[in-house]
Amino acid sequence: MSDTDWLDDHIELYAVAVLPPTEHDRVERELADLSEVERRIYHTRVAETRAAMVEFASSYAIDAPGDLRARVLDHVFAVSDGRGDAVSSDGPSGDVTADSAPAPIPIDRARSRRRAAVIAAAAAAIVVALGAGVVIGRGTASDPAAPTVTAAGQQALDVLTAPDAQLAAQQLDDDRGTMSVVTSRERNQAVALLRDLNNPIASDREFQLWLVGKEDQPVSAGLIPSTGADDPTLVENLDSATVLAVTVEPEGGSPQPTTPILAQVQL
């Protein structure tokens, strides 16, 4: 492990203030020990992460249930120490299999720590938004002081504030970003968000979501533009589906996945 590996794995979590006090203090000590140039690089990463959180939370404020943030935080740290529900595709073909999806990711300790930090940081984005009382989804309002929400935005809000709301997150293959999903079985709906799409796909392609386990073959659950979407995607009629997967498909989507699975998140 290099001198900055631990810092690299924790800087995003430090930026969104979800580290325990001992690790928060260690980050600050390690930052103080860096050269001026190195410290500026890490400060830039902190600023970029916080800016992403602000952008993510730039919607309409409401009061979220107090226990929801605590439950989501519990899940975030379960993911960060390897106890989460994140799953990935097996083999080069990326075939979607509902039976194999819940299995943990078999990766070595070093890769696990780095991946967990990325996943937890993605999940923390939703935690920060919920903690600030923010609903995902935008609407229009004539009076800025009295915001309204679109029907889709209200449905997304209903999922986020459902008593059984559960959060899961997964890093996309090929460093394409992360997918965070909040699921409510009670409402039979989920809210999915792709973030940090730093490895772009072609403009004539789209991300396509798939519900796995609902029928014999994956069922399309929506399309996301190649550049991502400002607002999360509402996924309806989960029924018996156990996994939400994402692939890259031709513009307009495909009846069935035609490319390897980028990520699978257990519902």
The better pLDDT of the pair 49, 88 is held by 49
Widest pairwise Cα distance in the chain: 57
Give 176-207 pLDDT, tens digit per residue: 778 888 889 999 999 888 877 777 889 899 99
Cβ atoms of residues 228 and 193 within 8 Å: no
Sheet holding 166-171, edge to edge: 166-171, 178-184, 189-195, 233-236
Instruction: Write the burial class of residue 173 (CB in 10 Å: 0-12 exposed, 13-18 middle, 19+ buried).
Output: middle
Task: Provide the b/e sequence for 178-189 (b: ≥16 CB within 10 Å).
Answer: bbbbbbbeebeb
Give pTM, 2 decimals.
0.55
In the numeric block, which tokens belong to residue 112? Answer: 């696990």
Q: Where are the domains of the chain?
A: 1-56, 57-266
Instruction: Compute the distance between CA of residue 58 and CA of residue 11 in angstroms, rounded to an integer.
Output: 23
Average pLDDT along the chain: 70
pLDDT at 4: 82
Instruction: Compute the distance between CA of residue 86 and CA of residue 117 in angstroms, rounded to an integer.
Output: 13
Instruction: Compute the distance between CA of residue 188 and CA of residue 218 in angstroms, rounded to an integer.
Output: 17
Instruction: Compute the distance between CA of residue 245 and CA of residue 92 in angstroms, rounded to an integer.
Output: 15
Give 230-265 pLDDT, tens digit per residue: 667 889 999 999 999 999 999 999 999 999 999 998
Give 3-20 pLDDT, tens digit per residue: 788 888 888 778 877 677
Q: How confident is the model at residue 129 (pLDDT cuts 50, 70, 90)?
A: very low
Tell me the mean pLDDT in the region 119-143: 42
From 179, 170, 42, select the one nearest 116 (Cα to Cα). 170
pLDDT at 27: 92
Cβ atoms of residues 214 and 197 within 8 Å: no
